[in-house]
Chains A and B, each alone.
Chain A
Amino acid sequence: MSQAPATPGAADDDVHDEPIPMMQQLIDNPFLLLFLGVAMPTVLYIVWGVMEIVGIPLAK
C-alpha cells in the first residue's frame, strides 16, 4: 500500500457544492448506460423479432 495520496487543494469543498442532478448522474455512469444500451435492442429487436419468426404459421 502506498501512502494516501494527498490531492492538493482538498476535495472537501465539494461538500458545499450543489448536488449533481439526477440526469447528469445517470449520464456519468457508463455501466448503467451499458446495461440500457444492451437491454433495449436485445428486447425490442432480437427478442421481439425472434418471437415473430417463431410464430410464423405452417403453409397449408
Chain B
Amino acid sequence: MAVNRNFRTCPSTGLVYHEPAEKLIRWNAVAGVVSLLVGGVLALLVTLTRWPAVKLLPPDWFYLVLTAHGLDMLVFWIIFFEIAVLYFAASTLLKCRLATPKVAWVAFWLMIVGAITNNIAVFKGDSSVMFTSYVPMGAHPLFYLGFILFAVGALVACFVFFGTLVVGKAEKTYNGSIPLVTFGAVTAAIIAVFTIAAGAIILIPTFLWSVGLVSHIDSLMYRTVWWAFGHSSQQINVAAHVSVWYAIAAIVFGAKPMSEKVSRGAFVLYILFLQLASAHHLLADPGLTSNWKIFNTSYAMYLAVLASMVHGLTVPGAIEVAQRGKGFNKGLFEWLRKAPWGNPCFSGMFMSLVGFGFLGGISGVMMGTEQLNLIIHNTIYVPGHFHATVVVGTTLAFMALTYFLIPTLFRRELMFPGMAKWQTYVYGLGMMGFSVFMMGAGTLGVPRRHWDMAFSGAALPHEFPGAAYLMMGLMAVSGVLATVGGAMYLVNTVGSVFFGKKIVTPDFKRVPVREGMAPARPPEPAVAPAGHGAIGAGGFVAPGTFVLAMVFLTSFVLYYFVNWKYLSTVWPLK
C-alpha cells in the first residue's frame, strides 16, 4: 500500500499540510462547527427559558433541550475541534505525514455516528438525563451507545496523534524536541486517554444496565468514576486552549516562549495532577473522606493551579517580549495598547486568556475548596463558572484560531472581515457578563438545571429575593448577546468555508516529500544568547505582564477570603 506523501506549503504562512491530514483537519473542524451551530440554537432556547420574564419552553422540553445543549457543546463541538487541533499540531507543526489516515477516518465516522445516535436518543424525548446521566435515572440505551461510540472514535484519533509523533521522530521530520504547541497537544491527548478510559469504565456498565444485563449501578460509584471522565475532559480543553494561546502568540507576534523549560514543565504538571481535580464534583457527597477530597480537589497541593498561573504569565509575557523587541518598549503597557486589537485572532485569544483566568480560574479554585463548595454546590454559580472556562476560555480560543485557519487551511478569504473584528468582542463580553450574572444568582442560591425558580405547583414553595430575579434577567440578556456573537461567528465561518472567495496561488503544486526532510539544525551560536537584551524595566523583561499578574493575584486572594468570610457566617456543620 502506497503511503500518500504529498504535501502542500501554504504560501501565506509557510505551513506545511500533508494532503490526507489536511482533509481530516477540515472535516473534524467542520463537524465541530456544525455541533456548535446546533448547540447554539439550543443555548438560546435554554436561556430564554431561564429568563424568568420569558420562560419560553415547558419543563419537558426545557430538560430535553438542556441535555442536548450540554452534549452538543461540551462534548461534540469541543472534541471534534480538538481532534482537528491534535492533527494540526502533530502533522502540520512537525511537517510530518499523518500516521494511518484510514484509521483516522474510521475514528471520524465513529464519532459522527456516535454523536448522531446520541442526539437522536435525546430528541426522541426519553433521555432527558443531562449530559451527566446520573444513575439511577435512566436514559434510552442508544443514549449511552452513542456516547460510547463517540468516545471510542476519539480514543482512536488520539492514537493516530501518538502514531504521528512516532512517524515524525522515525522519519526525522524535525530536529530536537517537538514544538511547544505540539507538546501542549501531547498533554491534551494524554489527558484524553485517561478521560476516555474512565468514561468506558462507567458508561459501558451503564449501557448494559440500560438494556437489563446489569441489575444495579451504585450512584456514588457512578458519580465518582463518571467525573474522572467528565472533569478530565474539561482538562483536555484547558491543555488544548493553552496550546492555542501559545500558537496564536507565535503566529500573530512571532512570540517565542520565554523559556521552554518553564512552559513545558507547567504542561508536565498538568499531565501529572490536573485530572485529580475531578474530586471537586464530589465535595458535597457522603462517604468519601476529607483526606481523599482535600488531596484530590487540590490537584495534590494545587500544583496544576500553579501550572495555569505560570501559563497565564508566560503567554502574555512572550507577547510582551516580542512587542518590546519590535520597539513598543515605552512604559508598562505600550506593548499592549499597540497590540492588533482589530485582529480577531488576537483579540479572541487575549479575551480568552483574561476571561479564563479572572472569571473561570478564580471561581473554579474557590468552589473547588472542600468547605467552600458547600455554599456553591449545584447552584447556578456552577454553570456560571464553566461558561467562563469552557466558553470564554476554550470556545473563544478556538474561534480565534478559526480566523487563522480559514485562509491557510481552507484557502478561502473571510467573507465578512468587518464582522469578524467585532465578533470576538460581542461573544466574549456577552459571555463574560453571562457568567458573572450566573455566579451572582448562584450566590443567592438559585439552583442550576431548574425550570422554575418560582416553584410553581410546589406545596411549600421558596421565594427568592428580587435580586436573584434581577440576576437571572441580566444573565439572559447577556446570554442573548452572546448568542448573537455566536451567530456572527457561524455565519462568517460557514459562509467563508463554503462560499468565500478562493485564494489561488499561481504555480501552486503539491510536493511529495520523503523521509529525512528536516534540514539539519543550524549551528548553535557559540555563546548562549544573553537574555532578551535591553528591553523591559527593573531587570524584568516583561514588567507589564508582571503587573497584570499581580493584579490577578490580588483579586484572587481577595475573592478567596471573601468567600471564607461568607462561609463562616452560615450554620455550623460537622
A residues sitting closer than 8 Å to B (CB atoms) are 2, 5-11, 24, 27-28, 30-31, 33-34, 36-38, 40-42, 44-46, 48-50, 52-53, 56
**Do A52 and B288 form a contact, CB below 8 Å, given A5-B515, A46-B225?**
yes
Q: C-beta contact mask, B532-567 vs A, less than 8 Å → 1, else 0?
A: 000000000000000000000000000000000000
**B278 in contact with A7 (CB, 8 Å):** no
**B516 in contact with A5 (CB, 8 Å):** yes
**A50 in contact with B221 (CB, 8 Å):** yes
**Do A36 and B279 form a contact, CB below 8 Å, given A7-B172, A44-B295, A56-B287?**
no
**B292 in contact with A37 (CB, 8 Å):** no
**A37 in contact with B190 (CB, 8 Å):** yes
Closest-CB distance, A59 to chain B (whole angstroms): 12
Q: Does B289 contact A (CB under 8 A)?
A: yes
* B275 interface neighbour in A27, A45, A48, Cβ under 8 Å: A45
Q: How far is the CA of A24 from the CA of B225 in the complex (A)?
A: 33
**B268 in contact with A40 (CB, 8 Å):** no
Q: Does B218 contact A (CB under 8 A)?
A: yes
In the bound complex, residues from chain B placing their C-beta under 8 Å from that of A9 are 519-520
**B225 in contact with A38 (CB, 8 Å):** no
How many A-B residue pairs have C-beta atoms within 8 angstroms? Tell me. Answer: 99
Q: Does B271 contact A (CB under 8 A)?
A: yes
Q: How far is the CA of A7 from the CA of B264 in the complex (A)?
A: 29
* A30 interface neighbour in B186, B289, B514, B520, Cβ under 8 Å: B186
Q: Does B194 contact A (CB under 8 A)?
A: yes
Closest-CB distance, B289 to chain A (whole angstroms): 6
In the bound complex, residues from chain A placing their C-beta under 8 Å from that of B191 are 37
Q: Does B371 contact A (CB under 8 A)?
A: no
Interface residues of B in 181-209 (CB under 8 A from A): 183, 186-187, 190-191, 193-194, 197-198, 201
Nearest opposing residue in chain A for B191, CB measure: A37
Q: How far is the CA of A2 from the CA of B2 in the complex (A)?
A: 12
**B190 in contact with A11 (CB, 8 Å):** no
**Do A44 and B271 form a contact, CB below 8 Å, given A34-B162, A52-B289?**
no
**Do A48 and B162 form a contact, CB below 8 Å, given A24-B177, A37-B272, A53-B220?**
no
**B292 in contact with A52 (CB, 8 Å):** yes
Q: Does B228 contact A (CB under 8 A)?
A: yes
Dominant secondary structure at the A interface: helix
B residues sitting closer than 8 Å to A (CB atoms) are 162, 165, 172, 177-178, 183, 186-187, 190-191, 193-194, 197-198, 201, 218, 220-221, 224-225, 228, 232, 264-265, 268, 271-273, 275-276, 278-279, 282, 287-289, 292, 295-296, 300, 514-516, 518-520
Q: How far is the CA of A10 from the CA of B224 in the complex (A)?
A: 54
Q: How far is the CA of A44 from the CA of B272 in the complex (A)?
A: 11
**A5 in contact with B271 (CB, 8 Å):** no
**A45 in contact with B296 (CB, 8 Å):** yes
Q: How far is the CA of A38 from the CA of B516 in the complex (A)?
A: 33
- Listed by A's residue number, 30 A-B pairs whose Cβ atoms lie within 8 Å are A2-B514, A2-B515, A27-B264, A27-B268, A30-B162, A33-B190, A33-B268, A34-B162, A34-B190, A34-B193, A37-B187, A37-B191, A37-B193, A40-B273, A40-B276, A41-B228, A41-B275, A41-B278, A44-B276, A44-B295, A44-B300, A45-B296, A49-B292, A49-B296, A50-B224, A50-B225, A53-B221, A53-B224, A53-B287, A53-B288
**A45 in contact with B272 (CB, 8 Å):** no
Nearest opposing residue in chain B for A6, CB measure: B516
Q: How far is the CA of A28 from the CA of B174 in the complex (A)?
A: 13
**Do A40 and B225 form a contact, CB below 8 Å, given A30-B186, A34-B162?**
no
